Amino acid sequence: MVRDLTQAERQTFASDGVALVRDAVDCEWVTRMMAVVDRQLAAPSKWSNDANPDGAENRNFTDRYLWQENAEINAFIRESGCAKLAAQAMDSQSARFYFDHLLVKEPGTASPTPWHQDIPYWPFMGKQICSLWLALTPCSVENSSLEFVRGSHGDGKYYAPEAFNGPQDDNASWMAKATGEKCPDIEADRQSFDIVGYDVEAGDALIFSAWTIHGARGNHSLKTRRAAISTRWLGDDAVWYPHAGTDPTVQQEDVSVAPGEPPVDEAVFPELWRA
């Protein structure tokens, strides 16, 4: 079963910069991606980021850019229907894949995900760029589901990236070269922003623009892991925009596309859906 976005979901994405999509993929994918999470926690890739390796708590773990070697993630991005959902949200005739991102907060992980936009972390420019964050476990806003500043995708701001595990985060040293203004301290002044958060079940997705400010609290549950896989999608107007301080997983030497051009490089950014 590969569902379509409803008209209401498309309109919410356009106005709010985020849409909750219940039962976004078949539950088989949740089981398969949870198995991938277990394997990556045990044997992280070179792109992982682990705040407390092997720790019983305060383990804020991410791993990314696994799709080329990991057959399960490769199948997920091609067969789950995520590409179509992303394209429909972006109102794009096509969806190219950028990268996959596992995001795990083990029980008793206090650290929040800092408020940020995604676009400044990436070597792309364009409005039709989004993420599909698929919940692999149920989670409430209290226990680290995502929150968004509604409508912030339309503000025309480009905030400097923030390391998820704070300034001591060695795996994010590439961000030091980034430029851009600092994201406002939304947590300190929540009442000044139109914040919307979503309690989700496993298999629900949050699709959001790369320009929408978002963050998450810690996972205060002492029993339940919070896990998600975020997939990153490029629509019709996305262009390659390499510059200092962006994610080093894909750099100019890895691609055939020139700066300012659409990322039509099938090997690195495969087109996985077309209307």
Ligand X SMILES: O=C(O)CCC(=O)C(=O)O
Residue whose CB is less far from ligand X, 36 or 216? 216
Residue whose CB is less far from ligand X, 201 or 261? 201
Three-class SS of residue 10? Answer: helix
Interface residues with ligand X (CB under 6 A) are 101, 103, 113, 118, 131, 133, 214, 216, 228, 230
Distances (CA, A) of 180 to 69, 76, 103, 188: 33, 34, 25, 20
Minimum CB distance to ligand X, residue 228 (Å): 5
CA distance 119 to 243: 12
* C-alpha Rg value of the chain to the nearest Å: 17
Residue whose CB is less far from ligand X, 1 or 171? 171
Closest CA to 175 of 115, 122, 240: 122
Minimum CB distance to ligand X, residue 82 (Å): 13
Residue whose CB is less far from ligand X, 90 or 216? 216
Tokens of 39: 């394997």
Minimum CB distance to ligand X, residue 113 (Å): 3
Minimum CB distance to ligand X, residue 133 (Å): 5
What does the DSSP assignment read for 146-194?
A: EEEETTGGGS---BPP--TT-TT-GGGGGGGG--SBPPP-TGGGGGGS-
Quote the DSSP letter at residue 269. Answer: S
Minimum CB distance to ligand X, residue 258 (Å): 27
Q: Is the distance from CB of 148 to CB of 208 less than 8 angstroms?
A: yes
